[in-house]
């Protein structure tokens, strides 16, 4: 039996969606973020040394990292989501599987960190300095990267129904989390194809089932 070690408001929601699309039986073990740090609880380290979610166990097999989990599940149970070997669809699937966490998420996480700096810096004179530094770094480095990434993704989705072409693939599950977060934070207002993609996955019956089972998730 597949067990998903599921953290609220996290990347593990896309794993539940994938399992529902594949119509696999699975169990969920729930974990809650620390109310002060927003980090995963230390109990997750009993499953994997890094103590992060998602992690799945499938019998004696333990798999961590969203991309690796998606590849494992698709190769093991979901041939229908695997593009034909050597095809352009396969190349696109591989590219977007890596792009999601390799290029898209790092600047988004940086933005989140600098937003927290602005919110939490004290006292007033420290806050003013922190805000100035955060604004300078965002304006000169991270904001242009985020904007360029969003334009790139939007253009791709204008010409493709799914990330690997005309069929759902592992790449769509991997890309769902950062794009949901982007829509929720208002980053995609000038990128209608991204917003249409997120709206489309939210309407899928498998996605809705995953949401009901997974519980709290701020990006849907």
- The confidence score (pLDDT) of residue 141 equals 80
- The confidence score (pLDDT) of residue 121 equals 65
Classified as helix, coil or strand, 27 is strand
Ranges of residues in the chain whose predicted pLDDT is under 70: 117, 121-122, 124-125, 130
- The confidence score (pLDDT) of residue 4 equals 98
* Cα–Cα distance for residue pair 152/104, rounded to 1 Å: 11
205-214 helix and 192-202 helix, angle to the nearest 10 degrees: 70
- The confidence score (pLDDT) of residue 46 equals 92
Residues near 44 by Cβ (< 8 Å), separated by ≥ 6? Answer: 5, 7, 31, 51, 52, 53, 55
- The confidence score (pLDDT) of residue 120 equals 73
């Amino acid at each position: 039996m597949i067990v998903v070690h599921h953290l609220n408001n996290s990347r593990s929601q896309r794993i539940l969606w994938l399992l529902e699309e594949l119509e696999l039986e699975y169990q969920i073990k729930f974990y809650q973020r620390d109310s002060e740090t927003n980090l995963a609880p230390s109990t997750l380290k009993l499953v994997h040394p890094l103590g992060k979610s998602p992690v799945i166990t499938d019998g004696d097999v333990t798999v961590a990292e969203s991309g690796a989990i998606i590849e494992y599940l698709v190769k093991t149970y979901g041939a229908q989501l695997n593009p034909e070997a050597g095809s352009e669809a396969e190349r696109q699937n591989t590219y977007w599987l890596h792009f999601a966490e390799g290029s898209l998420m790092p600047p988004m996480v940086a933005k989140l960190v600098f937003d927290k700096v602005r919110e939490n810096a004290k006292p007033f004179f420290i806050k003013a300095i922190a805000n100035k530094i955060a604004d300078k770094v965002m304006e000169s480095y991270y904001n242009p990267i985020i904007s360029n990434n969003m334009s790139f993704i939007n253009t791709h989705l204008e010409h493709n129904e799914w990330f690997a072409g005309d069929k759902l693939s592992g790449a769509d599950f991997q890309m769902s989390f950062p794009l949901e977060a982007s829509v929720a934070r208002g980053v995609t207002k000038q990128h209608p194809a991204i917003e249409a993609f997120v709206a489309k996955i939210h309407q899928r019956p498998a996605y809705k089932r995953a949401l009901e089972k997974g519980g709290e998730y701020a990006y849907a």
